[in-house]
A and B are shown apart, each in its own frame.
Chain A
Amino acid sequence: MSPLDLLMAAPLGFMAAALMLGPSGRWLILLAAPLMAGLALWLALLPPDAAYLVGQWDLPLGILLRADGVARLMILATALVIGAVGLHALAEPPEKPGHAAQAETFWPLVYLMWAGANAGFLTTDLFNLYVTLEMVSLAAVALAAMGSLAAALRYFMIALLGSLAYLLGVALTVARYDTVDVILLAQVAEADLATLLALGLMTAGLLIKAALFPMHGWLPPAHAAAPAPASALLSAIAVKLGFVILVRLWFEAFAAVTGPAALHVLGGLGAAAVIYGSIQAMRQDRLKPLVAYSTVAQVGYLFLAFPLVAGTVEPSGAWAGMTLHGVAHMLAKAAMFLAAGLMLKAVAGDRIADLGGLAQAMPLTVTAFGLAVVSLMGLPPSGGFTAKFLLLSAAIEQGAFLYAGVLVIGGLLAAVYLFRALSACFAPLAGAGPDTASRGPVTGGVQAVAPLALAGLAIVMGFAGTALVDVSAIEAPWATPTVIQPEAAP
């Protein structure tokens, strides 16, 4: 047994078990959360070269599973996020009142997304990645539909378009190279028409899935309307798989094909996403759309990092900044959506102006929201700070002052829109209307602890900077050069 297969098999087993158990399947999360966290930790502690071929079928035909640094960190964060979100959802049912179907189907869908995300982070096979992308997208669309059917349908249509574009690119790749394994592709890829078209199609499809500006249109309505646990999973997990596949494509399989110009297109879109998402977030009157637009902005940083990683011979800092930003955003955004859900439920409204008095009524939840704000803004000490600091250092070192400027301005804009929501919680309760009675203290319970734990982890990440940077470098494409440098500096 190895965590490489159990991390995929266990959630699928839980999915089938949840379907067999029916309404009582929800209790399985009590077993799944610690088990998956243990497996993810086991994976993180495996020797650096941990990998194996499924069914012992050799490449190029078979499928290789590999635990590189990105996979280790993403899977650990996924286990923490889905575990916490699941425990939260156990205490705070995610369904609309009366929708027993949602209450029951929520759980198999969560396990499907869990298995898909883990399998996707581990595989090096582009077609296998397509299958995992479908697992995650299918679960994500169904979870989004629990809030707004119209938003979910729009998400579904655009996600299908993304899937088809990606699949067409994979088909062209297999026809051209007889392999879809990123490690083999890295050795043979050439910049010809078929390859460039394949990479373009796959990239376009994945940018839709990752919701990079200007392909982000589906995200805010879907993420804002979904029930809080579903929003947390959509923003934390669903968009990250598209990003990780793009990392596999651009820095591994087709690293020899991509040029600086193309990398700057992605970086420029990322920078635009940071500014645009932040300005849109500032313009929102309602809390959940604000948090959703914050995801649009935060996804931008992931791609702003692309030219910074490619622009230097020693990219360990930019690479770690990119990876850790993904992890920190997973933890902080999941915490923020869960906290926002509790806060809005307590005030029975959805506007930022409704949040007054909550700091006294539910201090734990407002604290969780505040800690998530700290990490998302990139204030020290937090995972968000470590990541942005690494990216900023890389940008300054490379003289990429435009990207450095966007990193700084993005943090300031995040401060503006996030503090607006946070300070609203500290405002005195407006009037003593009839809804005051419902604003009783909602302090205890798993539902309040889950976002606090996730936000706390996003902060604690800031203290584990060096260790996490080392993990992110495991089996990184730039760390294992196929060509040995002729002369190393003494």
Chain B
Amino acid sequence: MTFAFDLILCLMILGTAAIALFVRDALAAIAFFIAFGNLMGLAWLGLDAVNVALAEIAIGAGVTGVLLILARARLLALGDAATSTGSPLLLRLGALAACAGFVVLLAAAVLSIPPESGLDRVVAPLMPGLGIENRVTGVLLAFRAYDTLLESFVLLGALVAVWSLAPAGAWPGRPADPGMADAPMRRVAGTFGQLLLPVALVMAAYLVWAGSDLPGGAFQAGTVLAGGLLVAGMGGTIGLPSSDQPLLRAALVLGPVVFLAIGLAGVAAGGLLVYPAGLAKALIVTIEYTLFLSIGVTLALLVAGPPMPGASDPDPEGKG
């Protein structure tokens, strides 16, 4: 990347961030926030952090953007104008001064640290033993697999937390229909969803497989799957499942439970999350495929929200 490109990118990141912060209308703020997320993804690409770029664009811009749009629609439905009210000038100036002071302090601290990472030197010689090339996957699924195992249960817990907010009488049930109210739009989304869902599945399956050696992996693939499921849900191609469907519950816990079981089976080989020699790649890929499925379904249901009373299924076929 050239200096000019970096400079323009930085200016655009700052510009979109400023507009997202200062614009009054929520929809405009959301649009600029999504643009900001995508530009951040580009910046991560420029820094050779492809995995972070994928996550930033998929989750930071994509899923968060959808959530913000849904939240705005909810606010409008509740009678809120979804515009920001001005805060006192003194408060704004105070906040600005505090943030600026903190940024200066943080920058001074960061710049005082030598840029090269010693951990990279530690990771590199350990990779051949795993049989995979992608260091990020090596960190997430081997060296720091314990963190990832716990995180997979955090994501599951987040869905349980959202479910716990279901209003009285709505449990067990379906989330509110995310489908578009406008019939022609719904048909467009429906057609698009029919096309997108299989494409998303193939792409996600590839991302998991590629994740062993190239940037990718269960989290990015799960986000792609969730995106496909959501678009298909908005167009009515698939109906959102009821929260008590056994098959749905199984899909949600499958990844975390397989991860936990493989981790405990490692005790036979010497300890928690020890992969027996030669089996590391097979076990990592098994964990990643099951985890990707669970993450995809969990993310889609997180966006869809808690079960709502009277949320009927436009398509009685449902999905598992």
Closest beta carbon of chain B to A254's beta carbon, Å? 15
Stretch at the interface among B57-65, B167-175, B186-194, B229-237: B167-175
Given contacts A56-B271, A127-B147, A128-B147, whether A178 and B119 have CB atoms under 8 Å apart is: yes
Q: Is A101 an interface residue (CB 8 A)?
A: yes
Q: Is A5 an interface residue (CB 8 A)?
A: yes
When C-beta atoms are compared, the residue in chain A nearest to B106 turns out to be A197
Contact at A99–B146, with CB atoms within 8 Å?
no
Contact at A128–B153, with CB atoms within 8 Å?
no
A255–B87 CA distance with the chains assembled, in angstroms: 42
Contact at B249–A20, with CB atoms within 8 Å?
yes
Contact at B266–A101, with CB atoms within 8 Å?
no
A116–B150 CA distance with the chains assembled, in angstroms: 8
Contact at B145–A55, with CB atoms within 8 Å?
yes
List which B135-152 residues lie within 8 A (CB) of chain A. Answer: 142-147, 150-151
Contact at A175–B253, with CB atoms within 8 Å?
no
Contact at A172–B109, with CB atoms within 8 Å?
yes
Contact at B147–A145, with CB atoms within 8 Å?
no
Contact at B271–A53, with CB atoms within 8 Å?
yes
Contact at B267–A19, with CB atoms within 8 Å?
no
Among A15, A100, A198, point to the contact of B171 (Cβ < 8 A): A100
List which B147-202 residues lie within 8 A (CB) of chain A. Answer: 147, 150-151, 153-154, 156-158, 160-161, 163-166, 168-172
Contact with B along A106-134 (1 / 0, CB 8 A): 10110010011001000000011001101
Closest beta carbon of chain B to A61's beta carbon, Å? 5
Closest beta carbon of chain B to A27's beta carbon, Å? 17
List which B266-291 residues lie within 8 A (CB) of chain A. Answer: 266-267, 270-275
Closest beta carbon of chain B to A155's beta carbon, Å? 12
Q: Please name all residues of chain A whose beta carbon is closer than 8 Å to the beta carbon of B275 when the two chains form the complex.
A: 55
Q: Which of B158, B164, B168 gathers most chain A CB within 10 Å?
A: B164
Closest beta carbon of chain B to A172's beta carbon, Å? 6
Q: Is A105 an interface residue (CB 8 A)?
A: yes
Among A53, A119, A141, point to the contact of B161 (Cβ < 8 A): A141
Q: Is B256 an interface residue (CB 8 A)?
A: yes
Closest beta carbon of chain A to B246's beta carbon, Å? 7
A131–B146 CA distance with the chains assembled, in angstroms: 10
A294–B67 CA distance with the chains assembled, in angstroms: 38
Interface residues on B, range: 35 or more
Among A22, A115, A193, point to the contact of B153 (Cβ < 8 A): A115
Q: Please name all residues of chain B whose beta carbon is closer than 8 Å to the beta carbon of A22 when the two chains form the complex.
A: 172, 244, 249
Q: Please name all residues of chain B whose beta carbon is closer than 8 Å to the beta carbon of A197 when the two chains form the complex.
A: 105-106, 109
Q: Please name all residues of chain B whose beta carbon is closer than 8 Å to the beta carbon of A419 when the two chains form the complex.
A: none
Q: Is B227 an interface residue (CB 8 A)?
A: no
Contact at B171–A104, with CB atoms within 8 Å?
yes
List which A179-205 residues lie within 8 A (CB) of chain B. Answer: 192-194, 197-198
Q: Please name all residues of chain B whose beta carbon is closer than 8 Å to the beta carbon of A19 when the two chains form the complex.
A: 156, 160, 249, 252-253
Contact at A60–B122, with CB atoms within 8 Å?
yes
Q: Please name all residues of chain A whose beta carbon is closer than 8 Å to the beta carbon of B122 when the two chains form the complex.
A: 60-61, 178
Among A20, A54, A132, point to the contact of B253 (Cβ < 8 A): A20
Among A2, A57, A194, point to the contact of B109 (Cβ < 8 A): A194
Report the 10 A-B pairs with minimum CB-CB distance, sorted nearest first.
A142-B161, A178-B118, A101-B166, A101-B171, A105-B164, A98-B168, A5-B272, A55-B273, A100-B171, A194-B109
Pick 27 A–B contacts, CB within 8 A, sort by A.
A1-B267, A12-B260, A15-B153, A16-B156, A16-B253, A19-B156, A19-B249, A22-B244, A54-B145, A54-B272, A61-B143, A63-B144, A63-B147, A99-B168, A99-B171, A100-B168, A101-B165, A105-B160, A105-B163, A112-B157, A116-B150, A131-B154, A138-B158, A139-B161, A175-B110, A194-B109, A197-B105
Query: What would 14 more interface pairs be, CB under 8 Å, given A55-B266, A178-B117?
Result: A1-B267, A16-B156, A22-B249, A53-B271, A54-B272, A55-B142, A56-B270, A56-B274, A61-B122, A105-B163, A134-B154, A138-B161, A142-B160, A142-B161
